[in-house]
Chains A and B, each alone.
Chain A
Amino acid sequence: MSTAATPVELTRKDFESDQEVRWCPGCGDYGILASIQFLLPELGVEPHNTVFISGIGCAARLPYYMNTYGMHGIHGRAPALATGVAMARPDLSVWVIGGDGDMLSIGGNHLIHALRRNVNLNILMFNNQIYGLTKGQYSPTSEVGKVTKSTPFGSVDHPFNPISVAIGAEASFVARTHDMDRKHMMETFRRAHAHQGSSFVEVFQNCNVFNDGAYDPILKRDVRADMLIPLTHGEPIRFGADGQHGVAINEFGEPYVCETTEVGVANLLIHDEHRPDPTLAFALSRLASSPHMPTPIGVFRDVERPAYDAEVRAQVSHSIERSGAGDLNSLIHSGLVWTVD
């Protein structure tokens, strides 16, 4: 439903609202916001056909900073609010923004159901492993033993692995990126946008106030090469400055981190985003259980499946084609009708 206006070159400015950004100085969210605002002009979707929906939390403030349509909803419900928008309108690019608490704790149910339905949404989950807006309680992605205001003796909760949750929830597009790499974020968000159906992107994000440096063991510049495992479709999975590490498959069919020289390049696992079976993608998500181990990054899974909202609309339009547009008078008069004179 894009309008007949003369196509103009859109810039980052076109996607910035007039509202002052109010995250804490140094928050990873600034970098993510910038990546989104840099990317959108390249996608060919105009601001008025773009909608950002969020729940509650620090990340959830993002829609206020976008010069698009936006809704700052209630805690955890953003995937459901956005499902309503996507169902009603095929012409909109709908983005869902939230944090790990919003999407995996209070809103876990809506997230998994949006993913299994494959609603046409781009869901970006900023994972900082902490509750920021409520000032520092542990989150469903915090590591066991986390000492916070609500867990002075350490958390005993076992955390979620968001990528595993998404794949387990039948997601058709699952990816991971991080707030220190604009290029990687933009590329990942671009892929998410291009995908038809639900796209789930976990963004490692630093909360410099309540959980500073949570990802340092894998994201500091000097360790990245050895600690991030880039996933590239059709390529052997290798990492390390010289590609000296890799991922191979063991006798049980499970992926494991290996030394390239030991197994040989030919025996490294070739990454296939499009494998219909999610088992291997799931197994890749299990390579790292915390940001202290070599961690895969990039697109885990990208498969085609009909989008829920498109299917719903198709049923409506087929019904109209088949039966003709409904006539209210005959609907009211349907069934056994009689007349009293």
Chain B
Amino acid sequence: MGATTTLDRVVIRFAGDSGDGMQLVGDRFTELSAAFGNDLATLPNYPAEIRAPAGTLNGVSSFQVHISDHDIVTPGDGPNVLVAMNPAALMANVADLNPGSTIIVNSDAFSERDLEKAHCTTNPLEDGSLDAFTVYQVPMTSITVEATKPLGVKTRDAERSKNFFALGLICWMYTRPVAPVLEWVEKRFANKELVREANLAALKAGRNFGETAELFSPYEVKPASLPSGTYRNVIGNTATALGLVAAAHKAGLPLLYASYPITPASDILHELSKLKHFNVTTMQAEDEIAAAAIAIGGAFAGSLAITGTSGPGLDLKSEAIGLALSLELPLVIVDVQRGGPSTGLPTKTEQADLLLAMYGRHGESPLPIVAARSPSNCFDAAFEACRIALKYRTPVILLTDGYLANGAEPWLLPDPEALADIAVPFATELNHTRPDGSQEYWPYLRDPETLARPWAVPGTPGLQHRIGGIEKQDGSGNISYQPANHEKMVRLRQEKVDRIANDTERVWTDCEGSSTTLVLGWGSTWAAITAGVRRIRIRGLEVHQAHLTHLNPFPADLGELLKQYEHVLIPEMNLGQLSKLIRAEYLVDAISFTQVNGLPFKAADMEQRIMEVLNS
């Protein structure tokens, strides 16, 4: 065994068949590294099909994890180490590797048939095409079978444990203790003795192989010096769910989450379904429309009501969201954006629902939009969306995306005590005096500051009232078709949303030194933009960064900020949707930088584009 080499960071990608358990071992390695104290970011990447034909390029599933001894934000551009369980996994991923990178292949999976399925005419392990890389051929399947034989495991079943062999090997390579994984396996497979024992044996075999084969020297990535505090590893969908629970708690309301299964949003439903003891009610509705309508019913009845979905579901919910907007009831719609249009790329990421969120309803139908920028930030964004919905009695769209939903990072845990109290009182009193001096309840008598209408929930004596999607008289809420009243109501609904800008934080900025150029982003591009900006600064150049959490209304100080720059570069995973809004709102000649390949931007591409702008 050679001496341990210390690295400041490493990017590892586990790649195999959809059925090979690559997401599982990626998750385990991430947890281990998180607990070890590394900073990290992950990028799961898998096909929409649950099991595409084994061994084919369509069936390749991968999990990339970037670990470091310092603060990082992206899952890394290309991997330093690729673990490829078969030729398809190798061929689908090799283009992302820089020369000099390491490839560890399962050499048992390179039979002629395997090669054929991956459309390889020659064997890449022999044809010289991998000469630029350091390739280790490890017979993972046969060692795993050998190691599990004494347990009486059938060969076919034994082969399925080879992902744990790979994990054991990588743990050894990067000097991670395997004990926590052993514990996890014990628990997870507590009721499946053979599977449990086979996985444990494979894991140990992988580690022992690293130790004894003398193929490689181990590396070490030391813990990162992150800001002090308590951390856990979290993926975006979990953080979103927890943010919603925290909001309900701080609002003193029961949480109702109604949703229809859809990738990549379903995990929010799964997560919340486990939390009934937090007074959380979850509802798997018959369709997306029903999920939105059920949430509206819940809001009318006094719950903090949420409906979650992804793009196609947001299309379907449009009419119901318009109703919530007209009823002026609090509602949060979570849209975990994925590649579109139509079914598009269900498991891939994109930011192309911004204009849908903004304008995707008939009539003048403005609503606030909040976007999360990192997996852990989903917690804060979800909380903020709920705060606005409750305070202003309006539907709010919360935008996350597939990358945030499944991507992991260490989360500096908030102190629940320090979270804002977002409780709003229900109306309990009559609020309007008739000409004859008697009192009545007006459901649309607005708060003069927020323009929010009172929220009187059914069951409150004396406050019976009717609301509906038909235009109503401002104040009394009675049906009104009067031209002047409609004009007033349309403008009031817009004004209510506009005024939220007085009540939100300033634009998030990182403006070291002075620069002519601002990179403005929203949502999950925060990671790549931040990494790109850091690279520019390492070059000794200056560039400023700003990032939006509030997409509607924009923060009050955004216009002033934009004016200070000669160049405003807006990177987005769409064809320039924020860029259009910024141009329209502020007459700024923004430069749009777009990518829509279903994957996050790479830091190197970001760096290059910023350099071009700086040099222009």
Contacts and interface: CB of A to CB of B under 8 A. Distances in A.
Mutual binders A and B: yes
B353 to A, nearest CB: 22
A266 interface: no
Interface string B284-307: 011101100111111111110100
A326 B246 CA distance: 11
A74 interface: yes
A64 B443 CA distance: 13
Given A71-B466, A73-B468, A84-B296, A337 B232 contact: yes
Contacts of B281: 87-88, 312-313, 316
A269 to B, nearest CB: 35
Contact of B245 (A51, A82, A86, A328): A328
Contacts of B576: none
Contact of A64 (B230, B246, B287, B468): B468
Interface stretch (A25-33, A41-49, A199-207): A41-49
Given A49-B459, A326-B278, A332-B414, A73 B293 contact: yes
Interface in B201-239: 225-233
A325 B281 CA distance: 14
B258 interface: yes
A89 B327 contact: no
B232 to A, nearest CB: 5
A60 to B, nearest CB: 9
B119 interface: no
B304 to A, nearest CB: 10
A89 B278 contact: no
Contacts of A217: none
B416 to A, nearest CB: 4
Given A73-B469, A328-B416, A88 B256 contact: yes
Nearest to A3: B461
A291 to B, nearest CB: 31
Nearest to B417: A329
Nearest to B293: A80
B294 A83 contact: yes
A329 B276 contact: no
Nearest to A321: B277
B301 A84 contact: yes
Contacts of B470: 72
A235 interface: no
A17 B469 CA distance: 18
Contact of A85 (B37, B297, B327, B468): B297
Contact of A109 (B233, B290, B465): B290
Given A5-B461, A339-B229, A81 B297 contact: yes
- Counting chain A CB atoms within 10 Å of each CB, the highest count among B293, B460, B467, B468 belongs to B293
B300 A325 contact: no
A87 B416 contact: no
B473 to A, nearest CB: 11
A92 B286 contact: no
Interface in A321-341: 322-326, 328-329, 331-341
Contacts of A151: none
Most chain B CB within a 10 A radius of its CB, from A74, A84, A326: A84
A202 to B, nearest CB: 21
B283 A312 contact: yes
A84 B293 CA distance: 7
A325 to B, nearest CB: 6
Q: Which of A17, A53, A68, A70 has the most CB of B within 10 A?
A: A70
Nearest to B37: A338
B297 A333 contact: no
B460 A328 contact: no
A11 interface: no
Contacts of A184: none
Interface centre among A3, A69, A73, A88 (most CB of B within 10 A): A88
Contact of A77 (B230, B246, B276, B289): B289
B458 A80 contact: no
A53 B233 contact: no
Nearest to A110: B290
Interface centre among A53, A85, A339, A341, by most B CB within 10 Å?
A85
A208 to B, nearest CB: 23
Nearest to A326: B278
Q: What are the 7 tightest A-B residue pairs by CB atom distance, in nearest-first order? A: A84-B297, A72-B468, A326-B278, A80-B293, A319-B276, A88-B301, A70-B466
Given A69-B466, A109-B290, A110-B289, 11 more contacts: A1-B459, A48-B458, A69-B464, A74-B319, A92-B458, A110-B286, A110-B290, A319-B277, A333-B232, A339-B230, A340-B231
17 contacts: A48-B459, A50-B458, A64-B466, A69-B300, A70-B467, A72-B467, A73-B296, A74-B293, A83-B283, A83-B297, A85-B300, A85-B458, A88-B254, A113-B286, A312-B283, A325-B279, A333-B230
